[in-house]
Structure 1
Amino acid sequence: MSDHIIPHFQNDAGHNAISIGVKEFMCVGANPPFDHPHVFLDMGDEEEVVCPYCSTLYRHDASLGAEQTVPAGCTYSDPVVAAAE
């Protein structure tokens, strides 16, 4: 089992690009029920990656925390998991 949680990001507002503080993450598209398959993305040595489902461009910004985004509000939190905590 992984020793860290993979952040999930969403793009309900339809932003062309979202800056994030991690290079490995999950994209869910828009919030359910308008989401796409939750896809794992890894930037590797690159500084940006495009989601193959929703075409959101994610850019790495080392000054951001693991769950911070620019523009703000693009972090996804599963309501079922949040209710269990």
Structure 2
Amino acid sequence: MAGHIIPHFQNDGGHEMVEIGVSEFMCVGANPPFDHPHVYLDLGDEGEKVCGYCSTLYRRNAALHGTETIPPGCAFEERGAA
């Protein structure tokens, strides 16, 4: 894996496709407690990949940066213990 922080994305909305601005990331499915094992995905040369756990299609969009997504709000942010 790369020597940088890998962004995490989730799909609470059940969207068929989520556009992201990175090629390497972790899919968590939905926010806890409804998440699946956090899996590393690499979009490779095709620029898209389906998560084997939640069936979300992730597609690279070069116009997006960091954790921006289309639809908005699919970046996963770890919440601290309550």
Equivalent residue, structure 2, for 1:41: 41
Provide Cα deviations, 1:17-73, integer angstroms capped at 9, x if missing partner: 000000100000000000000000001111110000000000000110020000000
Change (3 A) 1:2 1:41: closer
Equivalent residue, structure 2, for 1:77: 77
- How many correspondences in the alignment? 81
Which consecutive residues of structure 1, in runs of 5 or more, have no partner in the other structure?
A: none
Which consecutive residues of structure 2, in runs of 5 or more, have no partner in the other structure?
A: none
User: Helix, strand or coil: the match of 1:18?
Assistant: strand
User: Helix, strand or coil: the match of 2:22?
Assistant: coil
Higher helix proportion, which one?
1
**RMSD, matched Cα:** 1.6
Identity %: 64
Superposed structure 1 runs of 4+ greater than 6 Å apart:
none
If the length of structure 1 is used for normalisation, what is the TM-score?
A: 0.90
Equivalent residue, structure 2, for 1:51: 51
If the length of structure 2 is used for normalisation, what is the TM-score?
A: 0.93
